[in-house]
């Protein structure tokens, strides 16, 4: 079972106590290099599992649900270390239900290669996630996030579609971008909330219901003042 599919299936359980959140956090320097952090947060699901363990007879204490060990990012970490222009690859998992993978990239070529490892979709095709158009950083997503939502939605295909929509709305996808230069304008899809925390940082957030309705929901354009 793929990690994307497994995430979708586990969302059904996580909605009993809260949502799953996926984050992409970026910093960009003037020379085009930067850092990226990819986060899969199912901590609220973890709280439910801990509560379940406390009520059990102890036989299942410490045992993860079937397949949950496949959510770790160790294979991706190993693959990223072999990409030219990628360095300082780390995985932090203080909580087994929160996985954080980070790395530094030399340029967009290296970053795009790394994202094709992290954010695979069912097509298996290489995707150019980021490009610069003058002073504007352009992001074009693939089907990775939508596949996660559809993986869950397929389990609900015989159920009320409204219920499936409610589950998808609890699943969040977030972006964070910090630049060396001030941000001028941000253009994003419908259903995406944009927050400006300071003149160099932009945060965006949406849910998987919006992503399921529009495969380009995670596309964006960020213009810098240069």
Q: Which three-class secondary structure state does DSSP give residue 17?
A: coil
pLDDT for residue 70 = 46
User: Mean per-residue pLDDT for 115-122?
Assistant: 93
Predicted local distance difference test score (pLDDT) of residue 164: 60
Q: What is the rounded CA–CA span in Å between residue 53 and residue 60? A: 7
pLDDT-based confidence at 46, cuts 50/70/90? Answer: low
Average pLDDT over residues 11-32: 77
pLDDT tens column, 163-196: 566 777 878 999 999 999 999 999 998 899 999 9
How much is the mean pLDDT over the chain?
81
CA-CA distance, 68 to 169, in Å (whole number)?
A: 22
Q: Which of 23-27, 83-87, 95-99, 184-188 has the lowest mean pLDDT?
A: 95-99
Are the beta carbons of 73 and 79 closer than 8 angstroms? no
- pTM over 0.95? The answer is no
Where do runs of H (alpha helix) occur along the chain? 3-14, 43-55, 74-80, 108-118, 144-153, 161-170, 208-213
């Amino acid at each position: 079972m793929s990690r994307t599919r497994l995430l979708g299936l586990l969302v059904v359980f996580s909605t009993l106590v809260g949502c799953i959140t996926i984050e992409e956090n970026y910093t960009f320097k003037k020379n085009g290099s930067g850092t990226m952090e990819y986060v899969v947060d199912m901590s609220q699901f973890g709280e439910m599992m801990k509560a379940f363990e406390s009520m059990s007879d102890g036989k299942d204490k410490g045992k993860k649900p079937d397949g949950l060990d496949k959510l770790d990012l160790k294979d991706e970490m190993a693959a990223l270390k072999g990409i030219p222009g990628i360095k300082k690859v780390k995985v932090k998992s203080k909580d087994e239900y929160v996985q954080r993978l980070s790395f530094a990239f030399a340029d967009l070529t290296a970053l795009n290669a790394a994202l094709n490892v992290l954010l695979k979709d069912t097509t298996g095709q290489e995707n150019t996630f980021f490009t610069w158009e003058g002073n504007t950083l352009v992001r074009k997503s693939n089907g990775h996030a939508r596949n996660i939502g559809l993986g869950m939605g397929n389990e609900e295909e015989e159920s009320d579609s409204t219920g499936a929509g409610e589950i998808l709305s609890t699943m969040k996808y977030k972006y964070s971008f910090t630049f060396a230069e001030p941000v001028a304008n941000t253009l994003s899809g419908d259903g995406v909330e944009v927050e400006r925390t300071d003149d160099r940082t932009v945060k965006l957030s949406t849910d998987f219901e919006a992503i399921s309705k529009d495969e380009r929901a995670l596309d964006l354009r960020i213009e810098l003042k240069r």
